[in-house]
Amino acid sequence: MNKKKIGVSAAVLLSTLVVGVYAGMTLSSHITASWHVTNTGTELTLSWEPSPDGSNFATGVWYGNYGIRLQNTGTATYHVLVYFDITAGAGLPPDCVDIQYWDGAQWLDLPMTGWTTAHLSGYFGPSGGFDCTPSWNQLTLLHVMFDGDAPITWYNVDVYVAEV
């Protein structure tokens, strides 16, 4: 089967600055996100709603209610999954980044593989995929938390839809 891939290149640069002042003991950690969304020109498009800004992220706090909208503006039905590829500037300890999506009734963990490496892969939706029918227009909410053992480094996120 010919795989089709559309992309939201969410170039998420989560860079961190740790500042410490001896005696005053002000210590802060900042992670900055910069997202770039692209469309490859197919009938299926992904977009962020709202667009994640360059917010600072602290560990141990849920951030988000970022939405990913999938639309089918064509006349064909596609059987698809929405995939995530996350690359970091360091190896990632198991479960140090939590990403969940709202299925309409509850928050579900985004299943990811690749822990202990600097590259994670995952998807959301039913494991066998789902039909993206003509006039499809669905918003899926996501939120993210960096746990205490998450490396203080940059993170790049690529989100795309592929036919399964």
| Structural domains of the chain ordered from first start | 5-163 (2.60.40)
Single pTM value for the model: 0.69
Q: Are 90 and 70 in contact (CB under 8 A)?
A: no
Report whether 44 contacts 6 (CB < 8 A): yes
Please indicate whether residue 14 or residue 34 has the higher confidence score (pLDDT): 34
Contact 129, 79 (CB under 8 A): yes
Rounded CA gap, 161 and 140, in Å? 13
Rounded CA-CA distance 110/159 in Å is 13
Q: For the segment 112-126, what is each residue's pLDDT rounded down to a tens digit?
A: 999 999 999 998 878
**Mean pLDDT confidence for 30-38:** 45
* Token representation of residue 111: 């299943």
| Maximum alpha-carbon separation in the chain | 66
What's the token pair of residue 158? 């690529």
The answer on pLDDT for 152 being more than 50 is: yes
